[in-house]
Amino acid sequence: MSDRNIGQEILEGIKEVKRFKKGDVELKAWHLNEPSPAKTIRKKLKLSQSAFASLMGVSPRTIQDWEQGRRRPQGPAKSLLRIAEQHPEIFIEIR
């Protein structure tokens, strides 16, 4: 069992993205790319819409709306999608 606090790591990542957006942090080593579509990320993690919604902290309906193009992820949800895509081991670990 790992001593990592995954929730805290995700929270710190979100806080850093918010500081960057405010201009408080300059990102030199990496660039924030748009995450892949939610469906692509979800399928890569081998999760149902319901399980993915639970991990993302949104409703299954929100996941459906993202995947069908009715809505786009914003703010923290977009940040979590980046984390899920770039570090899927975090999401796999907490399933």
d(CA 90, CA 9): 9
| Cα angle value 37/40/42 (rounded, 5°) | 105
| Cα angle value 26/86/22 (rounded, 5°) | 25
Q: Please check whether residue 79 lies inside any domain of the structure.
A: yes
Domain ranges, residue 42: 6-94
Q: Please check whether residue 20 lies inside any domain of the structure.
A: yes
d(CA 53, CA 21): 25
Residue 22's CATH number:
1.10.260.40
Q: Please check whether residue 67 lies inside any domain of the structure.
A: yes
Mean per-residue pLDDT pooled into runs of 10, the chain (95 residues): 71 79 62 85 94 92 97 91 88 67
What pLDDT is stored for residue 24 in this prediction? 66
The tokens for 33 are 């790319």
What pLDDT is stored for residue 25 in this prediction? 60
Q: Please check whether residue 41 lies inside any domain of the structure.
A: yes
Q: Please check whether residue 57 lies inside any domain of the structure.
A: yes
Q: Please check whether residue 13 lies inside any domain of the structure.
A: yes
Count: domains in the chain: 1
Can you say whether residue 14 is alpha, beta or left, with left for phi > 0 and alpha for psi between -120 and 50 degrees? alpha
What pLDDT is stored for residue 72 in this prediction? 94
Q: Please check whether residue 1 lies inside any domain of the structure.
A: no
pTM: 0.66
